[in-house]
Amino acid sequence: MPAVNTPSPTVVPTRLAADRLVHLRASGVSVLLDLRGGLLPSIVHWGADLGGIGADEAIALAVAGVAPQANNTVDEPLRLAILPEQRTGWLGRPGLSGSRDGRAWSPWFRTTELAATATAGADALASTTTIADDAFTTIDGGGSIRVAATDPEAQLDLVVTIELSAAGVLRASAALTNRGDTYRLEELSLALPVPARAGEVLDFAGRWSKERTPQRRPLTVGTHLREGRRGRTGADAALLLTVGEPGFGFASGEVWGLHVGFSGNHRHYAERSTGGEQVIGGGELFLPGEIALSTDQSYETPWVYGVYGIGLDDQAQRLHRHLRARPQHPSSPRPVTLNVWEAVYFDHDLDRLLALAETAAAIGVERFVLDDGWFRHRRNDRAGLGDWYVDDDVWPDGLTPLIDRVRALGMEFGLWFEPEMVNLDSDLARAHPEWVMQTGGRLPLPSRHQQVLNLGIPEAYAYIRDRMTDILTANDIAYIKWDHNRDLVDAGTAPGGEPGVHVQTLATYRLMDELKERFPDLEIESCSSGGARVDLGVIERTDRVWVSDCNDPLERQQMQRWTQQLLPPELLGAHVASGRSHTTRRVHDLGFRAATAFFGHFGIEWDLTKATPAELDELAAWIELYRSRRSLLHTGDLVRMDQVDPTLWVSGVVAADRSAALFSLVYVARSDTESAGRITLRGLDPERRYVVRPLTIGNPAHGYHVPPWFGVGDRAGGAQLGSDGVTPRSLVIAAGNEPEGIVLSGRALATAGVQAPQSYPEQSWLIEVTAI
């Protein structure tokens, strides 16, 4: 069953009467839960902080939220629990669907136990007050409750866990246990209520090499349903389904978002009933017959995350703080990474790779990753997957000569694996054809010339685990690029063909966990045809994701902009590729490519031995800049300006103490006007004064006309003066002419702003802001 990762509590859970209201508060967010009457938890309020309310006000809020009785509805007010129940008259999606041969399909759960826990730094059970037969508990600073419930008639037990992290991120899970004969579970999803003023939906679509494409629509009566049936998260996944006040942006409008933290089949939905109730919900999606619970067997959902914010930036910042607070979150500086795929593909020539390593080390690269092609029979993508032995024909002395030289040059060494896949043209498939996922007595249609290796079969799992363990033991490997290059179609277990996506997903998690346990310093990147496995389930076990197989910086600007709605920049692999993109054939300046990769986990995907000396010098300068600023980039708060000119995207990272910031001005297209006008830079301390100046690397003169505030004066290579004889009419920065900038308060930058430079499209400026 899906693993649920709960934080280690600092106090023993406190047993409470299971008939009360509970108020969870943290970081400006409140979750008020109603468990009165021995019923499943119902969320009275999830959103902005309610303050230090007492029992009287909590009960009054619960009463105030009861809708009037409408004609032709059930004769009791609808009570919507976090697991929506059909028995209450709820006619939307039920939280639980299943039956025992047509029985027990509409259970009535009554709570039997409630335990509350305060997390680290929280005020444990700050107040408990009894009013009549009701009780009220507040937990400040983050905490959780665990509710046990049962339906003796249906012979089902349920445990619901609800947490609010210190960052204000809500998450919940449910575990169902069958106490009778076999129970066939069709769906177990959780739902979070959102207010009627949340009338617009934002989620994401996409495809290979163009992941995370935003899409908006009104939330109307009915269900906006997003199902992922790919056996992996998918390039077209909803990612974070958000509903909010119509027109919400990065800085304004209340928003409520939901994410299912699972890497297999899943669903997200937003639903509005004719009665006016609105929910966002989701969970794992089961294939037919996939979950059949025998007596005393349980199924546990993945975590369902709920994130409230004032604007999308507030929402993203909460998620980033939540993730950064995890004990396993990467804490060391994110090393500059060279991945060799677009440099050599399957041509693994030692001398060529050594030359590439020498060049990389000379410009400051800190991690060297050998991609696909190092193992037996792997001269192209049609053979070899599953044969995880170093190819003796290509590497007669093993990987040692390359690894030793990489390490001697001061770099870490990384290696590519695709553990969940197999080519039929492989020793493994010939020896164990029954290990290939299949159903209906037939093999699935091939995709990328490969099939899926069934890790749900213990022997197949042990084989892959042992092969990877042997490679990692025999070689000094700090990093795995873990790929997953096809959807799971007809993914069954031979010989009967029973569906196996659920088990396959959990086996993959177990394999990652086991390797991490055996090799504590190992880092793993989640790559899946690029960015098709980006979710909070896999990120519990990995240290970064590969955003996309497309390194075209124009495409990457959008993909990185929206992947950051879920994950912070330090978890996003972002690489500088060759001048001509391998996926779009566009040509871009090195400055635009590097400035795009700068706002992620910076790396390179380029045959550096073919770069000119000038390109290497400029790339080395970018690496030096990244290394000097990555502490800010990977700990600060993400801010994105709501667009005035849609051709200019302004975003950045602001230090937690508001002492510094880095902003990016990206010209994604040609504007209809000569100038984009003033841009604002928010997120800074309004009372502090800052030096604001552009950062220039190389010679960005071509196509730029800069405003006077840059402070380059008459040094700007013959700039013409205006009619007053003082103000430059058009400033073009020349090489070696560094801008001095201007001094403004944080309030002035957020409200009045500064003029943007003029530029050709598909170019970028970096703006550095430093407190005086």
Find out whether 10 and 123 touch, Cβ atoms under 8 Å. no
**Binding site annotation covers 475?**
no
427: nearest Cα among 485, 475, 385, 368: 385
Task: Show the tokens assigned to 170.
Answer: 């809500």
**Binding site annotation covers 303?**
no
Kindly list the catalytic residues.
483, 549
Find out whether 481 and 525 touch, Cβ atoms under 8 Å. yes
The count of C-alpha atoms lying within 13 angstroms of the C-alpha of 360, restricted to the half-sphere facing its C-beta, is: 33
Q: Which helix (H) or strand (E) holds 505?
A: helix 501-518
**Binding site annotation covers 484?**
yes
691: nearest Cα among 642, 748, 638, 652: 748
Distance CA 241, CA 483 (A): 26
**Binding site annotation covers 210?**
no
Task: Tell me which residue has tokens 């020539």.
Answer: 349
**Binding site annotation covers 549?**
yes
**Binding site annotation covers 100?**
no
Distance CA 706, CA 757 (A): 4
Q: DSSP assignment of 432-461, as one string?
A: -GGGB--BTTBPPPPBTTBEEB-TTSHHHH
208: nearest Cα among 230, 226, 224: 230
What angle, 0 to 180 degrees and rounded to 10, lies between the N-to-C axes of helices 501-518 and 458-474? 30
Identity at 646, one-letter amino acid code = P
Task: Tell me which residue has tokens 């509409």.
Answer: 106
Q: DSSP assignment of 232-271, as one string?
A: S--TT---SEEEESTT--SSSSEEEEEEE--SSSEEEEEE
Task: Tell me which residue has tokens 């008259």.
Answer: 89
Q: Residue 304 in 3-state DSSP?
A: strand
Distance CA 334, CA 489 (A): 36
Distance CA 4, CA 235 (A): 24
| Cα 264 to the center of its chain, rounded Å | 15
**Binding site annotation covers 178?**
no
Distance CA 694, CA 715 (A): 16
**Binding site annotation covers 371?**
yes
Distance CA 373, CA 395 (A): 11
Distance CA 615, CA 578 (A): 10
For residue 50, the tally of other CB atoms under 10 A from its CB is 18
**Binding site annotation covers 527?**
yes
200-207 and 241-244 as β-strands: parallel, antiparallel, unpaired? antiparallel
Distance CA 53, CA 70 (A): 31
Q: Is the bond into 495 cis (omega within 30 degrees of 0)? A: yes
Distance CA 200, CA 202 (A): 7
Distance CA 694, CA 640 (A): 18
Distance CA 479, CA 524 (A): 6
What angle, 0 to 180 degrees and rounded to 10, lies between the N-to-C axes of helices 613-633 and 590-598? 20
For residue 196, the tally of other CB atoms under 10 A from its CB is 10
Find out whether 193 and 80 touch, Cβ atoms under 8 Å. yes
Find out whether 186 and 46 touch, Cβ atoms under 8 Å. no
Distance CA 97, CA 286 (A): 11
Q: Who contacts 620 (Cβ-Cβ below 8 Å, separation ≥6)?
A: 362, 363, 364
157: nearest Cα among 177, 137, 182, 174: 177
Distance CA 458, CA 341 (A): 32
Which residues are part of a known binding site? Answer: 208, 371-372, 448, 481-485, 527, 549
Which residues are part of a known binding site for substrate? Answer: 208, 371-372, 448, 481-485, 527, 549
